[in-house]
Structure 1
Amino acid sequence: MSGIRPLRMVSVAAIGATAGYSACHYWNTTFFQFSTVHAESPPSDAQAALKKMVWKGFTELKLEKAEMVNHNVRRLTFALPDDQSITGVSPITSLLTRHTPEGGFIPVFRPYTPVSANDQPGYVTFMVKKYPNGKGSGKMHSLKPGDSMLFKPLHEFDYKPNEYSAMTFVAGGSGITPIYQLTRAILDNPEDKTKIALVYANNSEEDILLKNEFDDLAQKFPDRFNRTYVVSKTTPENEGTYQKGYITKAILSQVMPHKLNERNVKVLVSGPPPMIEAVAGAKGGFGWTQGSLGGILGELGYNKEEVHKF
């Protein structure tokens, strides 16, 4: 990685250590989209239209199953009202949680993006990373099967099939969940021909969420989806399997060759604020607005309209 300026390298360690992404993501979605009517995906058939949930404000869902994925990430599966119900939300839409801490008076709101398909009947699943002193993630990790949580959809990014010929997703840590949701939606649609390149950064191999799912998609759609994993540290037996160290200009240049001959492109950047700033420039308005474009993508010639920061 020598020769790359430190300012243009993303310390993957920040991904695991910072709780800032969760807070920034929360303020952004809550203050600007709290009252926004969520967009719904079109039903695949008439039967699906009848199953789609009607979200009226916050809806109580009961936890059905919980399991630890790694040392700080929990997979939580909540039951929908019945076995035939589907969430019906469109990508990218998160579900905002609401709870009031024991002994407290002020409710806590946090958005989490489902990793289950929006047409999956009967349940919705999340992968939640627990942050030190995190009020939202701490509550989600404390839930036991049978406990309930309140949810409300928040639509965060508009996407239309074939709107772009190519998309690049740059993600860090738990910022991968909205990226996975959109990746699945694109590749599962036989009418959508969009090509996707993913760069996903983490502290270690253990921290790579949804790796098996992304690997399966790469095998199933070799001409439309490729992924690059970047880790700060790796085990000796896996040396060479991952890009080691940081997200750099060189790495992004390798996975974004379409930029040289296509202009109909979009880049989504999702992760903690230090990563977003290094890759695409800091968000504005204390994380409430997109801000100006900078960082590595600015150096590569992208403009503000071609990049969206979460």
Structure 2
Amino acid sequence: MSGYLRTSLRVAGVAAAGAGVAYAGHHYLTTTSFFLTTAHAESLPSDSRAALKKMSWKGFTELKLQSTEQVNHNVKKLTFALPDDESVTGLAPITSLLTRHTPEGAWIPVFRPYTPVSENDAPGTVTFMVKKYPNGKGSGKMHSLKPGDSLLFKPLHEFDYKPNQYSAVTCIAGGSGITPIYQLTRAILNNPEDKTKIALVYANNSEEDILLKQEFDEFAQKYPDRFTRSYVVSTTTPQNEGEYVKGYVNKELLTKVMPHKLNERNVKVLVSGPPPMTASIAGAKGGFGWTQGSLGGVLGELGYTKEEVHKF
């Protein structure tokens, strides 16, 4: 999933025989010879679901598409069936599922990670929101699937989180980069033992592009002392003017919504957006997306340190 606000998550991969590989854009990953070590993805089902089976995820697993739903002009919700009705993904936040397919007429496989938006202990299915990109090999494949078609998946762990690890987390996302943020936000707020506060800043081109808005609005109503959100759009209409922050994510906005470091003992900032957005907010990633790079941008100006910021 995902041009200023098209989502881009860059993650380093490991290539067999030493071949280098990285992905950028909408969780982009392609290589001529590829091998991923087993990803850490742990999450125990709740007591009420003790009979459910956590998937072992040994290598790539074939899952069959169960249903599709058009969300907006370029985003689809795709639900895949797990091996049986008692199975759960058991993924830990933040973990995506890496897809693998070989386009017709090609010999080089295509790899793309997508973060599920379904709960990690939901039995029987796993659901994604996938934004289609022009000439996107991964998103194009996902959007072309029909119920009954199959695709290969494997967990790819992206960020370690432990309950109450931070007193406050600020999530800055653009476009479909919201999916890993949603996965973590839900895990934190649904855990009554986790007291972490969350501030979300979510930027898009227009109101129509805002994904999971209803879910985030419900979080804000249910957890007003722990969760706040600010929607930023490039363009507004006479009907929604005043409801959203118009423009771009900048220093002025972040100064208003982010927790003051002196008032919090331990903070973390997660940035999940396209390269230009990431660079302006936190400095560009290094090593062609393989490393976090140096901290810069608005967060650097606000006094945050490299250890306090994570760029996807």
Q: Which residue of 2 aligns with 1:14?
A: 4
Q: Which residue of 2 aligns with 1:212?
A: 214
- Cα deviation, 1:18-49, whole Å, max 9, x if unaligned, reads 77867353349999992143231133238537
Shift of 1:153: 0.4
Spell out structure 1 runs of 4+ moving beyond 4 A: 18-22, 27-33
Find the residue that maps to 1:233 and give its secondary structure.
coil
Find the residue that maps to 2:93 and give its secondary structure.
coil
The answer to whether the 8 A contact 2:30-2:111 is kept is no
The change in CA–CA distance for 1:154 and 1:20 in structure 2 (over 3 A counts) is closer
Q: Tell me whether 189-198 or 41-50 shows the greater mean CA deviation.
A: 41-50
- Normalising by structure 2, we get a TM-score of 0.90
The change in CA–CA distance for 1:208 and 1:56 in structure 2 (over 3 A counts) is same
Find the residue that maps to 1:67 and give its secondary structure.
strand
In the alignment, the residues of structure 2 paired with residue 88 and residue 29 of structure 1 have an alpha-carbon distance, to the nearest angstrom, of 28
Find the residue that maps to 1:257 and give its secondary structure.
coil
Q: Which residue of 1 aligns with 2:103?
A: 101
Q: Does 1:23 align with 2:34?
A: no
Shift of 1:189: 0.5
The answer to whether the 8 A contact 2:5-2:174 is kept is yes
The answer to whether the 8 A contact 2:174-2:273 is kept is yes
Q: Does 1:111 align with 2:113?
A: yes
Q: Which residue of 1 aligns with 2:169?
A: 167
The answer to whether the 8 A contact 1:277-1:294 is kept is yes
Q: Does 1:61 align with 2:69?
A: no
Q: Which residue of 2 aligns with 1:188?
A: 190
Shift of 1:14: 1.2
Where do 1:11-160 residues align within 5 Å? 13-16=3-6, 23-24=24-25, 25-27=27-29, 34-45=36-47, 47-48=49-50, 50-160=52-162
In the alignment, the residues of structure 2 paired with residue 284 and residue 263 of structure 1 have an alpha-carbon distance, to the nearest angstrom, of 29
Give the letter for the 1:23 counterpart: A
In the alignment, the residues of structure 1 paired with residue 124 and residue 218 of structure 2 have an alpha-carbon distance, to the nearest angstrom, of 24
In the alignment, the residues of structure 1 paired with residue 40 and residue 130 of structure 2 have an alpha-carbon distance, to the nearest angstrom, of 22
Give the letter for the 2:306 counterpart: K
The answer to whether the 8 A contact 2:279-2:297 is kept is yes
Q: Which residue of 2 aligns with 1:274?
A: 276
Q: Which runs of 5+ in 1 are unaligned?
A: 1-12
RMSD across aligned C-alpha pairs, in angstroms?
Answer: 2.2
Shift of 1:260: 3.2
- Normalising by structure 1, we get a TM-score of 0.91
In the alignment, the residues of structure 2 paired with residue 115 and residue 129 of structure 1 have an alpha-carbon distance, to the nearest angstrom, of 13
In the alignment, the residues of structure 1 paired with residue 172 and residue 155 of structure 2 have an alpha-carbon distance, to the nearest angstrom, of 24
Give the letter for the 1:233 counterpart: T
Question: More relative contact order in 1 or in 2 (CA 8 Å, sep 6+)?
Answer: 1
Shift of 1:194: 0.3
Q: Which runs of 5+ in 2 are unaligned?
A: 11-22
The change in CA–CA distance for 1:228 and 1:32 in structure 2 (over 3 A counts) is farther
The change in CA–CA distance for 1:30 and 1:51 in structure 2 (over 3 A counts) is farther
- Cα deviation, 1:244-303, whole Å, max 9, x if unaligned, reads 011010110111133232240000000110110000000000111000000000000000
In the alignment, the residues of structure 1 paired with residue 254 and residue 124 of structure 2 have an alpha-carbon distance, to the nearest angstrom, of 39
The change in CA–CA distance for 1:20 and 1:112 in structure 2 (over 3 A counts) is closer
Give the letter for the 1:283 counterpart: K
Find the residue that maps to 1:237 and give its secondary structure.
coil
Q: Give aligned pairs, total.
A: 297
Which structure carries more helix by proportion?
1
Give the letter for the 2:74 counterpart: N
- Cα deviation, 1:45-64, whole Å, max 9, x if unaligned, reads 38537511111100010101
Give the letter for the 2:4 counterpart: A
The answer to whether the 8 A contact 1:269-1:307 is kept is yes
Q: Which residue of 1 aligns with 2:20?
A: none
Q: Which residue of 1 aligns with 2:15?
A: none
Give the letter for the 1:281 counterpart: G
Q: Does 1:223 align with 2:213?
A: no
Find the residue that maps to 1:238 and give its secondary structure.
coil
- Cα deviation, 1:172-212, whole Å, max 9, x if unaligned, reads 00100000000000001011000000000000000000000
The answer to whether the 8 A contact 1:33-1:155 is kept is no
